[in-house]
Chain A
Amino acid sequence: MPPNLPRVSASVALPKPALQQVFDNLRAAGFTLVGPTVRDGTIVLDEIARLDDLPVGWTDEQEPGRYRLKKTREAQYFNYGVGPHAWKQFLHPSCLRLFSVEKSNGSWVFRPPEEPPPRYAFVGVRACDVAAIGILDRVLLGGEFRDPHYARRRENVFALVVNCARVNPTCFCTSMKTGPRATTGFDLALTELPEIFLVAVGSDAGSEMLRDTPWEAATAFDLGRAARAMQDVERQVERQLKTDDLPRLLYDNLEHPHWDEVATRCLSCANCTLVCPTCFCTTVVDTSDLRGTKGERIRLADSCFNRDFSHVFGGNIRPNIRSRYRQWLSHKLASWIDQFGTSGCVGCGRCITWCPVGIEITEEVNALRGKAAK
């Protein structure tokens, strides 16, 4: 490593405008930058190029079933929580051609997609979402079979992580032990302070992207106020999900009357699963021309809340909302642990904010435990 670049695991101070140089370095290295940007009254994840593509001076208000964007007086870069999008939309796209097929010389010829996916630099990944990517890795790469489409996107990702500066009432990362500060899983991790970013260097690639920036070694003062800021943020997390009795609580209560109660509120609309950063279920659609001589197999995001998800010949395994909500919750918090050695929930709170009727996963678990919902 040349002496003008920091070592891995070093913390450096970077003047905020110099983040543009990092963006430029990433782009010069062939990365497609995606990160938070304001669109449709929210902060979405989309292609970005410049610092002013970021939601500078914006913040969000989130509560069950409600999201609003607000202007702030301070021009902070990352003063908001996770939005309606998650990184899985880039790593595990909601619509993907698995292969095309054509009849040629009497045989079927199957062709996988050839064009290489973009090399992504993820900008502004939060600690909970770092954990979510780690969970998707286990699901799609960790078993006997590996998803080559996920792998091709995943292997080149550069992660510019941001530690959370504020907490929404929907967040419960501290319960799931995923945040609000990222301790692993980043190439660079920023903590936003009033005039600088405190940057933790997580990899050689991360260090390389600080080339030509006016970084300086972090002072004890910088480290101290960043640590205090993170402690403050952590204390702000109010929502709790007690996990020590999971997965037993769910397995033992598959016939709990509360499933019927939540079924009166749940719309089975699948929004929670689609905004969830770890829900990975897909379906396939086969298309063909009118003569049936060529076709394609398309993989689409699916949800356990859809009837066709559990269709078998002669009927449906989960014909009602009760059984679908039970499947989702008990998978997310219980059977996921058996399947992949980790909970399927990272405490990001997206399913709470983006449920059109504001159903709270944390409250449903409490209700199963016998407490009255708040």
Chain B
Amino acid sequence: MSVASPAMEIRNPADPMLPRPAVIQAIRPEAAGIATYSLAFVDPADRDAYHFRPGQFNMLYLPGVGEVAISLSSDPAESQVLGHTVRYAGNVTRAIGRLKVGDMLGVRGPYGSHWPLEDAVGKNLIIVAGGIGLPPLRPVILSILSQRDAFGRVLLLYGARTPADLLYTREFGRWREAGIEVNISVDVADESWRGKVGVVPQLFYFVRMEHQNTLVLTCGPEIMMRFVIYEALARRIPKNAIYISMERNMKCAVGFCGHCQYGPNFICKQGPVFNYAAIEPFFGKEDF
């Protein structure tokens, strides 16, 4: 091998960092400062070529402002229009919040690993989400709805800070009808709230589930996921049956920029969805 001829094929690779223009088809407010954007690629060829799996994410680009990694929150079976539930928190997402239906942005993706839906066939599922952690799990729920019989019991344990912060509440009825056991709690109740009060991991106290044949999928703040793991392990659910979705600074989404490293992993490549057994040595390590 010569320096002039690397072992890797390098002729004319496609540019994975080039966004494709997409148009906002609908904006659905979900909660204060959170809305779901339905995007469609301008070019029909882009629309047809695009397929994603639950848990994957796109990079949304606003010229001059920047790019942000947002999980797909829509049904993977419907990839012509792509749903992204966005919280207006950072530089780019706040700018997205000023866009209207018909406005354009750049989209590239899908990137990253996905929830192990194939492995879950025939098994029970405990889906645990906190706050803005539910959108990356919504494609899992929507996929289950279309093939409900393929799975055993499906529990959703979901919590938010206040009742007003709960996402997708109008869909809960349909999910319940399809046999998903939806358990909700809020950290802080208001007068109207009749449900449970407490942090999400406490919803485990109400769970009676066999441990041998159950997968846990969780997404939310790291501290929440730490307690979810604790509760799951306490119920003898094995480490390799627990999947978590991680967040780090992401710039390129294709493993070039180095920002999202997490020990031996790149969140954008091996993640964002990890099997807990694979990242246990690093999970929760301070400033890691």
Contact = CB atoms under 8 A, between A and B. Distances in A.
**A–B contact (CB under 8 angstroms):** yes
Interface of A: 98-99, 101, 103, 106-110, 112, 122, 125, 130, 133-134, 137-148, 151, 154-159, 161, 184-187, 202-203, 205-206, 251, 254-255, 280-284, 286-289, 292, 294-295, 302, 304, 309-314, 317-320, 322-323, 326-327, 330-331, 334-335, 338-339
Interface in B210-264: 247-249, 251-252, 254-259, 261, 263-264
Interface in B9-27: 9-21, 23
B10 A203 contact: no
Contacts of A330: 263
Given A108-B104, A202-B2, A251-B281, 19 more contacts: A99-B18, A103-B104, A137-B6, A144-B254, A145-B254, A146-B10, A151-B12, A154-B6, A159-B3, A185-B3, A186-B2, A203-B2, A280-B256, A281-B259, A284-B67, A286-B67, A317-B249, A327-B288, A335-B261
B269 A144 contact: yes
Contacts of A284: 66-67, 251-252, 257
A221 B75 CA distance: 74
Nearest to A147: B256
A98 B64 CA distance: 13
A254 B21 contact: no
B64 A148 contact: no
Q: Which of B248, B252, B261 gathers the greatest number of chain A CB atoms within 10 Å?
A: B261
Contact of B8 (A137, A292, A310): A137
B66 to A, nearest CB: 5
Interface in B48-75: 63-67
Given A146-B8, A159-B4, A295-B63, A283 B106 contact: no
A319 B287 contact: yes
A139 B21 contact: no
A108 B258 contact: no
A105 B236 CA distance: 59
B45 interface: no
Interface of B: 1-21, 23, 42, 63-67, 89-90, 104-106, 247-249, 251-252, 254-259, 261, 263-266, 269, 281-282, 285-288
A312 B247 contact: yes
Nearest to B5: A203
A101 B264 contact: no
Contact of A309 (B5, B106, B249, B263): B249
Contacts of B1: 184-185
Nearest to B259: A309
Nearest to B90: A313
A310 B248 contact: yes
A320 B256 contact: no
Contacts of A186: 2-3
14 contacts: A101-B106, A106-B104, A107-B23, A108-B63, A143-B269, A146-B10, A156-B4, A187-B3, A205-B4, A284-B252, A286-B66, A294-B63, A304-B261, A317-B249
Given A110-B18, A112-B18, A317-B287, A134 B6 contact: yes
Top 4 nearest A-B pairs by Cβ distance? Answer: A288-B64, A338-B264, A281-B258, A159-B3
B2 A302 contact: no
B4 A283 contact: no
A112 B15 contact: yes
B257 A281 contact: yes
Nearest to A284: B251
A206 B4 CA distance: 10
Contacts of B67: 284, 286
Interface of A is mostly: mixed
Nearest to A185: B3
A317 B248 contact: yes
Contacts of A287: 64
Nearest to A308: B249
Nearest to A99: B18
Nearest to A102: B63
A161 B3 contact: yes
Nearest to B105: A108
A312 B3 contact: no
Contacts of A101: 63, 106
Contacts of A251: 263, 281
B264 A286 contact: no
Nearest to B2: A203
Contact of A145 (B9, B16, B288): B16
Given A107-B21, A331-B261, A157 B249 contact: no
A205 to B, nearest CB: 6
Contacts of A146: 8, 10, 13, 16
A133 B286 CA distance: 33
B251 A283 contact: yes
Contact of A310 (B5, B20, B259, B266): B259
Contacts of A161: 3
Q: Which of B13, B19, B256 gathers the greatest number of chain A CB atoms within 10 Å?
A: B256
B252 A282 contact: yes
A157 B3 contact: yes
Contacts of A151: 10-13
Contact of A254 (B12, B256, B257, B285): B285
Contacts of B6: 133-134, 137, 141, 154-155
Contacts of A339: 264-266
B3 A282 contact: no
Given A151-B13, A154-B6, A310-B248, A143 B258 contact: no
Contacts of B14: 148
B248 A312 contact: yes
A295 B251 CA distance: 17
Nearest to B1: A184
A91 to B, nearest CB: 10
Contacts of B12: 148, 151
B287 to A, nearest CB: 3
Contacts of A185: 1-3
Contacts of B266: 339
Contacts of B90: 313
